[in-house]
Amino acid sequence: MEKEAKIYVAGHRGMVGSAIVRALEKEGYHRLIKRSSKELDLRNQSAVADFFAEEQPEYVFLAAAKVGGIVANNTYRADFLYENVMIQTNVIHQAYVQNIKKLLFLGSSCIYPKLAPQPLQEDYLLTGTLEPTNEPYAIAKIAGIKMCEAYRSQYGCNFISAMPTNLYGINDNYHPQNSHVLPALIRRFHEAKIAGVNEVSIWGTGSPLREFLYADDLGEACVFLMQNYNEAQFINVGVGEDISIRDLAFLVREVVGYTGELSFDRSKPDGTPRKLMNIDKLHALGWKHTTSLKEGITLAYTDFLSKPIED
């Protein structure tokens, strides 16, 4: 990827997109094309077509998506399916129409079957039933993967896909209902600390195991893959180790400095029992994450404190 190349980062204001921008700028790429959702509605087919025709990007990082935690995924099922399918379909198709050099599509580890063997290998896609609570989002992401594969097969497009594990970091979403588990814990412990609350209740049993990757590590992995990976099959991006929600809660409590008690509400859903990515392919290419979980949570908490809290 040439240093003078025009690069479009779709979703540059989000957690993943902004991490990709930082990684690109760190390596000296400066001709970055950015559009906020107010400037360009990626759900609008004609608007996306006009944008690609005018800007003529050479490379595309497709990080734009409607995202959320278990509550948001299960509540806004139609929105998660419709908006994500529209966003990725419009961008992928116009990347083909304008004959761009390469596109990287970002999926999610939720694409794998709920009870797939662990760790999750790329070959496990579509071998079982999805987790019901985030099925619409997962189906949208699977459609994006298959679109990239199909455009590569039929038209010879160099479209690749990367499947990151659970993410957190700078510019994360801390909404009280629609956030993922790690940012939700950061906010809850912080607010409990400020309010002097003696106990914080955590959804579920605390037993599910999750893998967490700092977003800036993912940003660097995306740039690495754009430079070094050209295969049809998507590739997992993760850290290769997981942690229970219970242990994660105690780690976040430590970083935030909350001294109250924790309880676990067993009436709430746990979601998928375990989601650990097999990252042998990525390691074989020569890339590995550099940010430890505690270090990343500390950086994320610092970022949280620097921003106004969303109601």
Q: Which residues of 170-208 are buried (b: 16+ CB within 10 A; e: fewer)?
A: bebbbbeebbbbbbbbbbbbbebbeeeeeebebbbebeb
* Residue 120, marked binder: no
* Residue 270, marked binder: yes
Q: Which two tokens stand for residue 74?
A: 């299960």
* Residue 263, marked binder: no
The torsion defined by the Cα of 282, 237, 299 and 301, in degrees rounded to 10, comes to -160
| Residue closest to 161 by CA, chosen among 76, 256, 230 | 230
* Residue 15, marked binder: yes
Rounded to 5 degrees, φ, ψ at 109 are -65, -15
Assess whether 151 carries a catalytic annotation. Answer: no
Q: Which two tokens stand for residue 99?
A: 């004959």
* Residue 106, marked binder: yes
* Residue 204, marked binder: no
* Residue 165, marked binder: yes
* Residue 12, marked binder: yes
* Residue 1, marked binder: no
**Distance in angstroms between the alpha carbons of the first and the last residue of the chain:** 41
Out of 8, 137, 151, 168, the active site residue is 137
Cite the annotated binding site by residue number.
11-17, 106-109, 141, 164-167, 180, 188, 203, 210, 270
Cite the annotated binding site for NADP(+) by residue number.
11-17, 106-109, 141, 164-167, 180
Q: Which active-site residues does the annotation give?
A: 137
Cite the annotated binding site for substrate by residue number.
188, 203, 210, 270
